[in-house]
Structure 1
Amino acid sequence: MPYVVTEACIKCKYTDCVEVCPVDCFYEGENTLVIAPDECIDCGVCEPECPAEAILPDTDPRAEQWLEMNREYAAQWPNINRKKPALSDADDWKGVPDKYAKYFSDKPGK
């Protein structure tokens, strides 16, 4: 039962969750993060750390559609294991619905 990152992270990319992950299972895209479901140990320490409330356990019905997306991009993007500054306008995007279709970038982070 891994955790997944949902579209709430898009254009925010807060990395508070990365800092607490004991197994370094976060991967960085240009404007979002994902969790490698096969690496996540289901400890749950990342979920309360996310200011955007973008992390859910895969048992939550809202997480189901994001599981494969997390798996796919975790295999392509670089691992991130240290906190970085959020995107400069992250607070403006926090809570904005339906960001995936318009704003998701499949480019890797730096």
Structure 2
Amino acid sequence: MLKELSAANIYIVCGHTDMRKSIDGLAAIIREEFDLDLFSDSLFLFCGRRRDRLKALLWEGDGFIMLYKRLENGKFNWPRNEQEVRNLSHEQFVWLLQGLSVDQPKAIKTIEGGIDFY
């Protein structure tokens, strides 16, 4: 069963990934290139060179789930820095799936702490 994604960390693997890779190949990228914990409560996103397909890898506690999405019209606005993996907020994840950039310049950014009014 697909678990609730709202509790998961969402990581986007920037650049392009060979979309012929299976669960083991994608897991090797996460483990060897980025040294991240595959078995954490995390969703890992990968995109091909054409940017019209993405794969997602998720650990369910008893095995991996691989999700695949192919757009029929349009492309994902995917960051292209080959050496980077980024942690996305759920809002950025929704933007990405809607074809928008994960870096929305007009979005109000959250801040840590508060403002002193004294």
Give TM-score scaled by structure 1 length: 0.33
Query: Higher strand proportion, which one?
Result: 2
- Which has the bigger relative contact order, CA under 8 A and spacing at least 6? 1
TM-score (norm 2): 0.31
